[in-house]
Amino acid sequence: MQYLVSVINDTASLATPDEMAAIDVFNDRLQAEGHWVFAGGLAGPNSATVIDNRGEAAMFTDGPFVESKEYLVGFWIIEAADLDVALKLAAEGSRACNRKVEVRPFQ
């Protein structure tokens, strides 16, 4: 079973070097224990472009699809047997990156 662990940022600043180091340690552990699928950090929401190509021509809009003080700043995709395992890993991830995280199962 795969889960998306979204990292939620509620400040303007991105990860500090200390936080990056803690994330690296956590990532190594995910890989060593077979939970690792994929992970990545994102640039700030100001760098986002929203595209809507449901009409005749693609529309491009500068900025994120929703303006919010809290925004997605990175994610992990993890492999876990069940939600208990996923929650435990997500709790450690939250500690490592020093941010709130959200856990959601893939369908």
Partner 1 sequence: MVDVQEAITQAHHEEWARVVAALTRRFGDLDIAEEAAAEAFATAVARWPTDGVPPNPGAWLTTTANRKAIDRIRRESKRGDKQKEAQMLRDDDPPGPLGAIDDERLRLIFTCCHPALAMESRVALTLRMVAGLTAPEIARAFLVQEATVGKRITRAKAKIKAARIPYRVPSAEDLPGRVSGVLAVLFLLFNEGYLATGPGTDPVRHDLTAEAIRLTRLIRALMPEDGEVAGLLALMLLTEARRSARLSAGGELVTLDDQDRGAWDAALIAEGHRLVRERLAARVAPGRYQILAAINAVHTSARNVRDTDWSQVVALYDQLAVLDPSPIVALNRAIAVAELDGPEVALAAVDRLEDKLGGYYLFHATRADLLRRLGRGQESRAAYDKAIALTGNTAEISHMTRRRDQLGADGRDRDGTTL
Residues 44-63 contacting partner 1, CB under 8 A: none
For the chain, first and last CA: distance in Å? 9
Among 6, 87, 92, 102, indicate the residue that binds partner 1 (CB under 8 A).
87
- The interface with partner 1 within residues 64-83 (CB under 8 A) comprises 81-83
Minimum CB distance to partner 1, residue 105 (Å): 5
Does residue 105 bind partner 1 (CB under 8 A)?
yes
Q: How far apart are CA 66 and CA 28, in angstroms?
A: 33
Is residue 77 within 8 Å of 2, Cβ to Cβ?
A: yes
Partners of 79 in the beta sheet?
A: 2
- Select from 70, 95, 74, 72 the least CA-distant residue to 18: 95
Could you say which of 18, 56, 62, 84 contacts partner 1 (CB under 8 A)?
A: 84
Query: What are the tokens at 5?
Result: 């662990």
Q: Report the nearest approach of partner 1 to the CB of residue 83 (Å).
A: 5
What residue ranges bind partner 1 (CB under 8 A)? 1, 81-84, 86-87, 103-105, 107
